[in-house]
Structure formats: structure tokens, C-alpha cells
Amino acid sequence: MGRPAIALFLAAALALSGCGARRQADAPAPAPGDGARRVILVVGDGVGLAQWSELRLASDDPLSVTRLPVLGLVDTRCACERVTESAAAATAYATGRRTSYRFVAMAPDSTPLRTVLEAAEARGLATGLVTTTQIVDATPAAFAAHALSRYQRYDIARQMAGREIEVLMGGGRSAFTRRPDGADLLAEMATRYTVVTTVEAFRALDARKSERLVGLFADSTIFPGTEVRPTLPEMAATALAVLDRDPDGFFLLLEQEDTDDAHHQNVPLDGTLPGLRELDRTIAVALDYQERRPETLVVVTGDHETGGLTLFYQDGSLEARYTTGNHSATMVPLFAGGPGSERFGGWLGNETVGRLLFDAVGEPAEMARR
């Protein structure tokens, strides 16, 4: 990491501790452009600078994320508070607008907001959502649905099932199959999609022959039971194989949620490292794809920091201390590479990141403000 990057992170650590920190000016909105033909957004849920430091200090080999040349820092606040939660945070990335707690792609005045996934679909791009938690959870939901509460999971599932999203993978099967209205959305989707519900069926797939894929591997969440789901790198590689079939390009969200759950529970470092390592291996999959398809933009960030994590050495070993079981106001790092990635450097508001994603799929940034 070069001196400018080190200085940037040190400035963040010194200047931003708690809610009273002075807000930095957001980067200006990008001018409309042709955008990248392929966009991969990787979200490490709850992953801030301390979590990346934790992984780096525990790793002998260089991290995959260090292959991304552009570094930024993201102010994660929402419209109503300086400490955000996942639905509001994801909405900022998905729509280019900050919103209120628990809102999913809805403005604070309860009007729906256009998402970058919808913009990608309108431009003829393929789309995909992949997560290690429920597919109807806050982060993927904010890109594909509109709801006044992230907990309206049956409604979110119906909206997802009604869209033409080429790849959906995660948990949350019961929101599609055990519904109050008696509908079996997964059975309906099986007429249009290749559907898998077990790791064995997933690994037997020839993804290159699937135009649309749904993988729902548990009735609810899939943390910490990693044995019930494919790894996130496996799901990422398969999603990319499916989406690569579209010559027009795609928008793909890859979310590692275990990192958030583990830090909410304030588990010791040994319990948080597996999710962080899986996140970094997923980034390697995205970057290997980018090497084959140089027109691919890869953006990696967190939606917020979880746990208020502090790292220190005691008696020769790395130790962790948590200051909260919830989210903190600490900024999160952003890493990017590929066409247009230079716009993601510096100090950014999370809503500015969303507007940059709109531009990346070729949509004028102003559209994100509607």
C-alpha cells in the first residue's frame, strides 16, 4: 500500500471516531457515460477498516483485495441517523439516495426509488444477486424490491420472483414456498429457471448451459451452517458463468453476510476470520474474471462497520475488543478496479457510491435521484 493510501486511512482513523465527527464533502456526481459493460459489486456486510486489518494481520500471504488499485472511504450514515442499519445502507448503494431505517429502495417520504438493478435491466443487461444469508434479506432486497420494511419478506420474495433477474442465490426458501397466500413461487419460477436447493445439485450443474439460475439452499438464513450452502466463491463463479452468456453485460451483487452476523455476536477472532477469508476469496474470483473480461468494473466495500472493533496485541497475540453489539459510525474502506474505477477514490458518501454505480451501468446519474 503506497503512502497516499496509508495517509488516507490514517486520516479516517484520526478524524472519524463517533457521531460528532465533521462530515467531509462528498465526491461530485459523475457525468453520464457509457459505463462498464460488466459491473460486480462485492459487499462485505459489517466489514470496516478494523475487519480488513484483522484479516491482514492474520494472513501470511497478500490479500486478493490488494489487487484493486483504487481506494476510498465511505461515510455510511442514513437519512435519519449517523449510525445506519443494513436496509438503509443498501438502499444508498442501490438507489443513490439515503433513506430511513428499515426502508428498502424507498425514499424517506415512502415513495419508491429506482434501483441500479432496475436501470441495468432497462439497458438490457443481465442481473444477479448472490448472498450468504436470505436472498430476501436487507442488502439484496434493496436492489430488487421496494418495501417500507425489510421484514416484509413475503412481499420482497414476490417482487423478486416477478422480475427477470438471471441469478438468485442464497437462503430464504420459505419466503417463496411457505407463504401465507399459499403460493409456491419457487415452483412457478421452475418453469423459467434452473432451480437447485442442495449443495450436491448445485455442484452438479453445468452453469454454462443455464440462462437463469435460482439456488435457495435453506428455509431461512445460512449462517453459520456453511455446510448447507456452497461457498460464496463457488456461487460467485457460477453466477459469472451464467451472466457471461449475455453479450450486453451484467450487474452482479455478491454479499458476504457471515461477517456481519459474527461481529454482531462479538465472537472471538477465530470465529470472524472464516467469513472474512471467504470474502477475500470471492474477490479473487471477481478479479480472475476481470482478467478475462477487462471491461469489468469491480467495486468492493462494506455497508457499515459492525461491532466497533478494536485490535491490539497482548502477550504476543492479536486480541479484539468490541465496543458494541451493533453498528458503529466508523467509515468503511472501498476498493475498486476496472473502467471508471478512479471515480470511486477519495471521500465518498454512500449515496454517491450508488450514483456512481448508476453511471457504471450506463444510466445518467441524475436518474438515481428520482
Confidence band, pLDDT 50/70/90 cuts, at residue 283 = very high
Joined grid coordinates for residue 66: 490488494
So what's the pLDDT on residue 366?
55
Average pLDDT over residues 207-217: 90
Instruction: Please tell me the least confidently modeled range out of 32-36, 185-189, 335-339, 348-352.
Output: 32-36
What is the CATH number for 153?
A: 3.40.720.10
Indicate the Cα dihedral angle 193, 196, 197, 202, nearest 10°. Answer: -150
- 141 falls within a domain: yes
pLDDT digits (tens, 9 = 90+) for 146-188: 999 999 999 999 999 999 999 999 999 999 999 999 999 999 9
**In which element (H, E) is residue 40 found?**
strand 38-44
So what's the pLDDT on residue 153?
96
**In which element (H, E) is residue 346 found?**
strand 346-349
Q: What percent of the chain has pLDDT over 70?
A: 88
Over 50: is that where the pLDDT of 11 sits?
A: no
Identity of residue 286? A
- 202 falls within a domain: yes
So what's the pLDDT on residue 28?
41
- 25 falls within a domain: no
- 67 falls within a domain: yes
Helix (H, G, I), strand (E, B) or coil at 27: coil
Average pLDDT over residues 335-350: 97
Average pLDDT of every residue of the chain: 88
Instruction: Please tell me the least confidently modeled range out of 110-124, 149-163, 217-231, 242-256.
Output: 217-231
Counting Cα atoms < 13 Å in the Cβ hemisphere of 323 gives 12
Average pLDDT over residues 122-142: 96
pTM, full prediction: 0.89
For the chain, what is the domain count? 1
**Cα–Cα distance for residue pair 32/138, rounded to 1 Å:** 28
Confidence band, pLDDT 50/70/90 cuts, at residue 216 = very high
So what's the pLDDT on residue 227?
78
Over 80: is that where the pLDDT of 279 sits?
A: yes
- 12 falls within a domain: no
Instruction: Please tell me the least confidently modeled range out of 89-103, 159-173, 199-213, 333-347.
Output: 199-213
So what's the pLDDT on residue 228?
84
pLDDT digits (tens, 9 = 90+) for 16-67: 333 333 333 343 433 434 457 899 999 999 999 999 999 999 999 999 999 9
Confidence band, pLDDT 50/70/90 cuts, at residue 368 = very low
Over 70: is that where the pLDDT of 278 sits?
A: yes
Sequence-distant (≥ 6) Cβ neighbours of residue 118 within 8 angstroms: none
- 35 falls within a domain: no
Domain assignment of residue 44, given as a range: 40-369
Instruction: Please tell me the least confidently modeled range out of 115-124, 224-233, 276-285.
Output: 224-233
Average pLDDT over residues 258-273: 88
So what's the pLDDT on residue 171?
94
So what's the pLDDT on residue 44?
95
More confident residue, 319 or 354: 354
Over 90: is that where the pLDDT of 2 sits?
A: no
**Cα–Cα distance for residue pair 258/313, rounded to 1 Å:** 25
Average pLDDT over residues 137-144: 97
**Cα–Cα distance for residue pair 246/65, rounded to 1 Å:** 27
- 283 falls within a domain: yes
So what's the pLDDT on residue 54?
94
